[in-house]
């Protein structure tokens, strides 16, 4: 199974790339975590925020694999504990398909991305910085896998 983390934003600090990479490489071969970075839409006085979101949205949706289960990361989504995430991960693995996790830009996801999502998931009611979201997601996916594998990391 492949989980695609489709996130708006490029040029992350080295610590983000290192932390994300560390957790992604810990996952077993049958569960890969792939990062797809989407360039930030241009925001300026002369261009509208709506145009930037539309450009980001088109790129996000183009990166979603055909037949993927789509999970939109949103503040107003469902809260999952780590144990609930591990149950979701087990279900995704049993279903045999791939998963795309969508992380919007500074203005969030477009209505089109929200409509394409099968589930809306909230990491927190707090607004988190985008670099931290990548690290948090990769660590929680790894932790969920360790629960399923009875690995001591979760303890």
Mean pLDDT of 88-106: 96
Output the pLDDT for position 42.
87
Residue 128 annotated as binding site: yes
Distance CA 105, CA 118 (A): 20
Q: Is 101 labelled a binding residue?
A: no
Kindly report, residue by residue over 70-87, the tens digit of the pLDDT: 999 998 999 999 999 999
124 marked as part of a ligand binding site: yes
The Cα 110–Cα 6 span in angstroms is 14
Q: Has 82 been labeled as part of a binding site?
A: no
Angle in degrees, 0-180, between the axes of helices 82-95 and 130-148, rounded to the nearest 10: 70
Angular region, 67: left φ>0, alpha ψ -120 to 50, beta rest: left
Count of helix runs (H) and strand runs (E) in the chain: 5, 5
Strand partners, 55: none
Mean pLDDT estimate for the chain: 95
What's the number of CA atoms in the CB half-sphere (13 Å) around residue 74? 18
pLDDT tens, residue by residue, 42-70: 888 888 899 999 999 999 999 999 999 99
pLDDT at 154 over 80: no
% of the chain at pLDDT higher than 90? 86
Task: Set out the domains of the chain in order of their start, with CATH numbers.
Answer: 2-154 (3.40.1280.10)
pTM for the whole thing? Answer: 0.94
């Amino acid at each position: 199974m492949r989980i695609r983390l489709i996130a708006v934003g490029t040029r992350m600090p080295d610590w983000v790339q290192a932390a994300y990479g560390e957790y992604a490489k810990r996952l077993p071969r049958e569960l890969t975590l792939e990062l797809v970075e989407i360039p930030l839409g241009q925001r300026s006085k002369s261009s509208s925020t709506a145009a930037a979101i539309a450009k980001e949205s088109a790129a996000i949706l183009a990166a979603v694999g055909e037949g993927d289960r789509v999970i939109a990361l949103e503040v107003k989504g469902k809260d999952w504990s780590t144990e609930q995430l591990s149950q979701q991960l087990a279900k995704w693995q049993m279903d045999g398909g791939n998963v795309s996790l969508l992380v919007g830009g500074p203005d969030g996801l477009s209505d089109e991305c929200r409509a394409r999502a099968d589930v809306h998931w909230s990491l927190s009611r707090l607004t988190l910085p985008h670099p931290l979201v990548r690290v948090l997601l990769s660590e929680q996916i790894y932790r969920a896998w360790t629960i399923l594998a009875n690995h001591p990391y979760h303890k």
